[in-house]
Amino acid sequence: MGVQIVMDRSGDTRHEFDTADASAVALAEERFRELTGKGFRAVALGKDGSPGTLLRNFDPEAEQTLFIPQLQGG
């Protein structure tokens, strides 16, 4: 089971998908492309708080993918 966590105004929105289900994976990949196309950064979260990995391409094996909106200087 994979989960895509999208940061938003409500805190976050989670999209779970079954990695064994091809259609669910395709939907997750589509979401990945859509969000990264909008400027979101996708990071495969590490286990137990260890540093994550920036994803340039969709990784169906990533258990938790965090989508961070585009950064701006404060």
Binding site residues, other proteins, CB under 8 A = 5, 7-12, 39, 41, 43, 45, 48-54, 66, 68-74
CB of 7 to other proteins, least distance (A): 5
Identity of the residue, 13 or 26, whose beta carbon is nearer to other proteins in the bound complex: 13
Identity of the residue, 23 or 50, whose beta carbon is nearer to other proteins in the bound complex: 50
User: In sequence order, which residues have a C-beta less than 8 Å from that of residue 62 and are 6 or more positions away?
Assistant: 2, 44, 45, 55
Biggest CA–CA distance in the chain, Å, is 42
